[in-house]
Amino acid sequence: MRKKTIEDYVEVIYNLQNGSKKAHTNDIASALEINPASVTEILQKLHKDRFVNYEKYSGVTLTKKGKKIAIQTESKHRKLKQFLTLLGVDKKIAEKDACEMEHILHKETMDTIIKFVEVIEKCGMTPFWLERLKEYVKKGKLKKCPDQLKELCKNYSY
Ligand code: MN
C-alpha cells in the first residue's frame, strides 16, 4: 500500500471537520483504516509542523496552513473525478481512484488533466470521440469510425 502523506491526513481531517467541528482520532483512524495509536503519533507530528491544532482527548482542527493544503487537494480530487467520469469510469470507482491519484501524480500530469477537463467544458458538449470512448467502455465493443466523422476530424486538424 502507498505510504500516506500529509495531504491524506489533512484531507480526511478537513472532511471530518465539515466546517469548524473538531475531528477525532478514532474517526480519522477509521477513515484511513489505520490504528488510533498511529493516528495520535501522526497528529503530534502534524501539530509540531503546524498543519493542525491538536490537544489530546479534545480533537483536532486544521491550521490555516493545513486548510490551504486541504483545499488544494480537494480541488485536485474534484478535477480527477471529473476526468475519470468523462472517460466513462463508474462514479464510485472514480471517487476512490481520484483520492489516490491526487497524491501521486506529477504536477505536469495533474495540470494537463485539468486542462483536458477544461477543454471539454469549454465546448459545452461531449466531443464525438469521447462519446465513442464512453460507448466502448460501456459495451466493450469498438465500432468502426464512421466516414463522416473521419471527414469532420480532417477539417479540424491543424
Ligand atoms: Mn485522497
Question: Which residues, including other chains, have CB under 8 Å from residue 102's CB and lie 6 or more apart?
Answer: 7, 73, 76, 77, 80, 110
Task: Note whether 62 and 83 are same-domain residues.
Answer: no
Q: How far is the CA of 71 from the centre of ligand 1 (A)?
A: 12
Task: Note whether 16 and 60 are same-domain residues.
Answer: yes
Note the pLDDT of residue 156.
Answer: 67
Task: Note whether 60 and 105 are same-domain residues.
Answer: no
What band does 157 get if pLDDT is binned at 50, 70 and 90?
Answer: low
Cα-trace Rg, the chain: 21
Arithmetic mean of pLDDT, 16-20: 88
Share of the chain above pLDDT 70, in %: 98
Q: Which residue has the cell 503530534?
A: 44
Q: Are 62 and 17 in contact, with CB atoms under 8 Å apart?
A: yes
Q: How far is the CA of 73 from the centre of ligand 1 (A)?
A: 7
Its domain, for residue 145, covers: 79-156
Residue 140 has what DSSP assignment? S
Residue type, 142: L
Task: Note whether 39 and 88 are same-domain residues.
Answer: no
User: Is residue 72 assigned to a domain?
Assistant: no
Task: Note whether 52 and 86 are same-domain residues.
Answer: no
Q: How far is the CA of 141 from the centre of ligand 1 (A)?
A: 33
Q: How far is the CA of 152 from the centre of ligand 1 (A)?
A: 40
Task: Note whether 60 and 99 are same-domain residues.
Answer: no
User: Is residue 92 assigned to a domain?
Assistant: yes
Q: Model confidence over 139-156: pLDDT tens digits? A: 999 988 888 777 777 776
Q: Model confidence over 98-109: pLDDT tens digits? A: 999 999 999 999
Share of the chain above pLDDT 90, in %: 74
What band does 50 get if pLDDT is binned at 50, 70 and 90?
Answer: very high
Q: How far is the CA of 153 from the centre of ligand 1 (A)?
A: 37
User: Is residue 1 assigned to a domain?
Assistant: no
Task: Note whether 91 and 151 are same-domain residues.
Answer: yes
Arithmetic mean of pLDDT, 67-86: 96
User: Is residue 149 assigned to a domain?
Assistant: yes
User: Is residue 23 assigned to a domain?
Assistant: yes
User: Is residue 116 assigned to a domain?
Assistant: yes
Identify which of 49, 74, 46, 70 has the alpha carbon closest to the alpha carbon of residue 60: 46
CATH number of the domain residue 108 falls in: 1.10.60
Q: How far is the CA of 2 from the centre of ligand 1 (A)?
A: 11
User: Is residue 29 assigned to a domain?
Assistant: yes
Q: How far is the CA of 95 from the centre of ligand 1 (A)?
A: 9
Take residue 88 and report the three cell numbers written for it: 466513462
- Structural domain count, the chain: 2
